[in-house]
Structure 1
Amino acid sequence: MAVARLVATVAAPLDPAFADAPQVLHRPGRALLVQRGDTELVVLDLDVATAGGRLMETRFPAPWPRRFGSVTVSPEGEAAVFAGVHALRCVEATGATRWEVRHGCWEGEDPHTHTSFAEYAADEDHWSADNGSAAFSADGKLVWAHVRGPLGDTGETEDDQELWLVIDATNGTVLGHANTMTVASSSEHTPHPDPAQMGLSVGEGEEGSPVLWGRWDGQRLTTEQLDIERILLAVSPSGRHLLTAPLEQGTLSLHQVQDGTVLRELDAQGTVTPHPGNTGGDRIYWDHEAAFVDEDTVVAGTSVCDARYGTVRHWLVDVREMTLRGEISYPFPVSGHPRSAGGGTWYTISEDRTSVHLWRSH
């Protein structure tokens, strides 16, 4: 059995009744705790927290309520990009808009655009619109974004094709774009240590779940589809490997980033022992999130299939041979999935969503 050591517990800055659950965004050498409310985004420097220093927080005013999209933060925490229904907006902590890229509205089947959030704020159809996502590159110089066309300021995209954009983080210039050939209900980026690479998982509801990999050479964005029914879980610290799971989540797969080749796999069924409360032979499967602790070790959970029986379980996986090192022993019960916090750590969120626990393996 592997033992988890508590590194730090950090209180969520916003009331969970009126905010999304806190999350950790990390790039090499920097980790930030981020929590989104309807009117503001709060960012805390976790490196200061784990060193025992006084927490410094930055608050960004939100251009629209949280139900209308997602948000990402630059590695240095000085800018936030809100990926909304009709636009990407980069906001500074002062409240100033650094730039905005308008795109096709995510609501409805027919391509149309809006000039402002006020045009659809009271329209209930827009409250449950599909959505894209955005992420900063590892060095903070680029923003990668998945949007719906057409783009508001170019004549190059005229219909409602979905686009993957590479944007200059300083001024909002769209440097390159590619058609994702997807029909998304949602998407999520997975950053790579190399600023010129990025992963994108696209949820298409019952239609599939494509995993795309993008490369930017400074002039052109090229993409490849790694799979049509898979979830991208994590990228290794070196950037050489990817961890994925199929939609049914029965298997962890380790891939080469270079060409997407599957190197090794680990089935949950037959490898993970049934939960003590599982007397009916229910299927065992992996969570849809996991964390690389180091290049050779992953923390993966079976928390969703465990939850009905009580305490959730997390596992250390040796990806060199794709074997279980053992179940992780925590000093107190945890909830939910294990998620990467960078620097050899992972995090869990308390069941009431009021705090984040950072962990390291002994």
Structure 2
Amino acid sequence: MTTSAASARLVATLTAPLDRDRDAAYAPSVLRWPDRRLLIQRGDFEAVAVDLDDPSAPRTRFPAPWPRRFGTFTVAPGGDLAVFAGVHSVRAVDPAGAVRWEVRHGCWEGGCRILHESFEEYADSRSHVYADSGSAVFSADGTLVWAHVRGPLATAGPDPEALDEWLVIDAADGRVLGRADAETVAAGSEHVPHPDPAQMGLSVGEGQDGAPLLWGRWDGSELSVEHFGEEERILTSVSPTGEHFLTVAHDLDSLALHRVSDGAVVAELDAADAVPRHPDADPDDFDADDVMWDYECGFVDKETAISSTDQEEEYGPVRHWLLDVSGMRPAGQVAYPFPVSGTPTALGDGTWYTVSGSGDAVHLWALDS
């Protein structure tokens, strides 16, 4: 059980492009591709992208087709196109607000079987505010959009028995190039990109029913899908080399390193074996002995990962942990020059970031050599 420390060095502090109070915005986050990083943020009326490596560059603003609570969004590597994965469609919007393309699908509100043509049809429906959701992301080269949607597609006609579908879409014109039955009933999902544009990971949340992990491969004509982890592991990160991925158990008790080729577990690390109880916890609080990982665990680089422990705010400062991924061994607790909040998100290029407690800034970190 490790108690050693690894010092973090502040690389940069980036101000959130939207004011969370004024613009009713979520906290910012970072998208990374092999040759570009974007700071992005979603408000009720617009989404914004900023070149993380050139903060002085103009901010790109995309008018939002619906308020933020009605789905998720992503931005192309070139920063010139935003894709909004909503309740009834996946829509690509340029900075002028023009719709480049749209793929309509079944409604994510569980009791609704309508193939909506517009957001306005359910804008005032309370049940749709709490609809389930899918997700979408661009491939590493920006040519494809991978989208997890509620079936059926509008072009296929209504089917009350349709399950969720996984789509490969041409990012240029919105043509659905490939589709597969995801065999999930999602409450939410998150794509985890692979360096190879023809591969993609998908982590699906089904509430207490499980956490299916899907791996997709696109050969140019067909989308093939494999299910890994027996619906009990949450995909969190793919290595910079593309050879491995990381997962956390649905009950948060262990982290695992897997081979991409077949999903097999290479090494595993239990929280109870790696992390001591929080030093500021009351000695009589026996719940503090039940240490759990958080939902974030990612590759800082090909040899090192970073994670955090869950539900510790009541005891004191949040704790982040470095891991040697070769054998999933603990490498030390991260020591910061000032208190940080929340979970760390690794970028795979030797850095990771944290978001300020107020959500108005992103702190970019690297190991202090």
TM-score (norm 1): 0.96
Match of residue 341, structure 2, among 323, 331, 335: 335
Letter in 2 for 1:187: S
The 8 Å contact of residues 248 and 256 in structure 2, kept in 1 or not, is answered as: yes
Written as runs of structure 1 = structure 2, the 5 A alignment for 1:222-261 is 222-227=224-229, 228-261=231-264
The corresponding residue for 1:30 is 36
Written as runs of structure 1 = structure 2, the 5 A alignment for 1:1-362 is 1-17=5-21, 18-49=24-55, 54-109=56-111, 111-154=113-156, 159-227=161-229, 228-278=231-281, 279=283, 280-281=285-286, 282=288, 283-302=290-309, 304-362=310-368
Structure 1, unmatched stretches of 5+, are none
Over residues 233-252 of structure 1, what are the superposed CA-to-partner deviations in whole Å (9 max), with x where a residue is unaligned? 11110110010011111111
The 8 Å contact of residues 110 and 160 in structure 1, kept in 2 or not, is answered as: no
Deviation at 1:157, TM superposition (A): 7.0
Structure 1: distance between partners of 2:258 and 2:110: 36
The 8 Å contact of residues 111 and 149 in structure 1, kept in 2 or not, is answered as: no
The 8 Å contact of residues 62 and 82 in structure 2, kept in 1 or not, is answered as: yes
Structure 2: distance between partners of 1:270 and 1:141: 43
The 8 Å contact of residues 77 and 141 in structure 2, kept in 1 or not, is answered as: yes
Once the two structures are overlaid, the 10-residue window that deviates more, 168-177 or 147-156, is 147-156
Over residues 100-145 of structure 1, what are the superposed CA-to-partner deviations in whole Å (9 max), with x where a residue is unaligned? 0000111133532101111110111111001100010000000000
Letter in 2 for 1:9: T
Deviation at 1:341, TM superposition (A): 2.9
Structure 2: distance between partners of 1:108 and 1:275: 40
Deviation at 1:306, TM superposition (A): 2.0
The 8 Å contact of residues 318 and 341 in structure 2, kept in 1 or not, is answered as: yes
Structure 1: distance between partners of 2:348 and 2:367: 13
Structure 1: distance between partners of 2:193 and 2:111: 30
SS of 1:331's equivalent in the other structure is: coil
- How many percent of aligned residue pairs carry the same amino acid? 56
Q: How many residues are treated as equivalent by the alignment?
A: 357
C-alpha distance 351-39 of structure 1, shift in aligned 2 (>3 A): same
Over residues 221-267 of structure 1, what are the superposed CA-to-partner deviations in whole Å (9 max), with x where a residue is unaligned? 00011021111111110110010011111111000000000000111
The 8 Å contact of residues 105 and 153 in structure 2, kept in 1 or not, is answered as: yes
Structure 2: distance between partners of 1:158 and 1:28: 41
Moved over 3 A (4+): 154-159
Letter in 1 for 2:8: A
The 8 Å contact of residues 322 and 331 in structure 2, kept in 1 or not, is answered as: yes
Structure 2, unmatched stretches of 5+, are none
Over residues 246-295 of structure 1, what are the superposed CA-to-partner deviations in whole Å (9 max), with x where a residue is unaligned? 11111110000000000001111132121112222321111101221111
Structure 1: distance between partners of 2:176 and 2:192: 20
The 8 Å contact of residues 40 and 60 in structure 1, kept in 2 or not, is answered as: yes
Letter in 2 for 1:82: F
TM-score (norm 2): 0.94
The 8 Å contact of residues 99 and 171 in structure 1, kept in 2 or not, is answered as: yes
Structure 2: distance between partners of 1:61 and 1:286: 37
Structure 2: distance between partners of 1:94 and 1:241: 39
Deviation at 1:16, TM superposition (A): 1.9
Over residues 10-31 of structure 1, what are the superposed CA-to-partner deviations in whole Å (9 max), with x where a residue is unaligned? 0011122311111101110111
Letter in 1 for 2:134: G
Structure 1: distance between partners of 2:45 and 2:333: 40
Letter in 2 for 1:295: K
Structure 2: distance between partners of 1:356 and 1:174: 35
SS of 1:153's equivalent in the other structure is: helix
SS of 1:269's equivalent in the other structure is: helix
Structure 2: distance between partners of 1:69 and 1:214: 22
SS of 1:125's equivalent in the other structure is: helix
